[in-house]
Amino acid sequence: MVEASTLSSRKGTIRLENVFKSFRGGRDQVLKGVNLDFPAGKLTYILGSSGAGKSVTLKHILGLLRPDSGSVWVEGKDMATLTGKELSQQRLHFGMLFQNAALFDDMTIFENVAFPLREHTKMTEQEISDEVKRALSVLGMPEGYDKFPNELSGGMKKRVALARAIIRHPAILLYDEPTTGLDPVTRTTVDELIETLKRELGLTSIVISHDIPSALLLADQIAFLHKGEIVFWGTPKEFRKAEHPAIQAFLKAEQRTVDALTAT
């Protein structure tokens, strides 16, 4: 393990060191000594069953939760020790795609994407307009900025939410179950968007998901959480061959789902 004093402050670097987290007075131990590196500029999927600790891990990276012990290093700063303004400033390094897109219903597409710039910068309206158009164009939306969220398909809502997530040029992009509950066509669209941002922007990207096909297709590396511990870390190719019983059960369940869909 690299000592804290030698940790890189390079843009987009993230490392969890021996992170423990319990709830209900210690009776519910969720994270049990998690050690995990997220290489800068790479796409990492965190897979695992419900209750494995994926969302709790993501909240620690954002500084929304503090570990009972251990460190969460983001660009050389331990999120577990930051408070107030310093924590708020560190969170500006992140972009976030929420599971349900979390768009403001009473704002147009343009206003939704422009919102972080109006809240956190002193840019002129022309500068904001240029940035909004740039972000939406990267995601395949060169027009229609006056529409409202209720006029959009599920896939289009994800595009808008992603444009808002990247509008401030973050170093790190987080995805919370981006394909859960989506139909196959929209799911493919979201996968293509994740691939586009990976290719075009080179951000450090973290996806928490149950979606094995997407992880195998898109990830540079996969981490598998099981009962609060990282039981696998490696490439998609290595993941397919992993012998851990929980991973094999996960892969077999996915195959049964594919077989059932194929048979109908």
Q: Is residue 40 part of a domain?
A: yes
User: Which range of residues forms the domain containing residue 150?
Assistant: 98-169
On whether both 152 and 180 belong to a single domain, the answer is: no
pLDDT tens digit string along 212-261?
999 999 999 999 999 999 999 999 999 999 999 999 988 888 766 655 54
Query: Do 136 and 33 share a domain, yes or no?
Result: no
Whether residue 162 sits in one domain with residue 134: yes
Looking at the structure of the chain, the number of domains it has is 2
What CATH number should be reported for the domain holding residue 69? 3.40.50.300
Asked if residue 130 is part of any domain, the answer here is yes
Whether residues 4 and 123 fall in one domain? no
CB–CB of 147/108 below 8 Å? Answer: yes
Residue 2 above 90 pLDDT? no
> What is the rounded distance in angstroms from the CA atom of residue 67 to the CA atom of residue 79?
10
Indicate whether 249 belongs to any domain: no
Residue 42 is classified by DSSP as -
Band (105; pLDDT cuts 50, 70, 90): very high
Residues 77 and 2 in one domain: yes
Whether residues 109 and 88 share a domain: the answer is no
Find where tokens 């529409």 sit.
Answer: 147
| H-helix segments, 63-124 | 84-91, 109-120
pTM of the model: 0.87
22 and 76 housed in the same domain: yes
pLDDT over threshold 90, residue 72: yes
Distance from C-alpha of 156 to C-alpha of 73, rounded to nearest angstrom: 34
Cross-strand partners of 233 = 223
Amino acid 260: pLDDT: 55
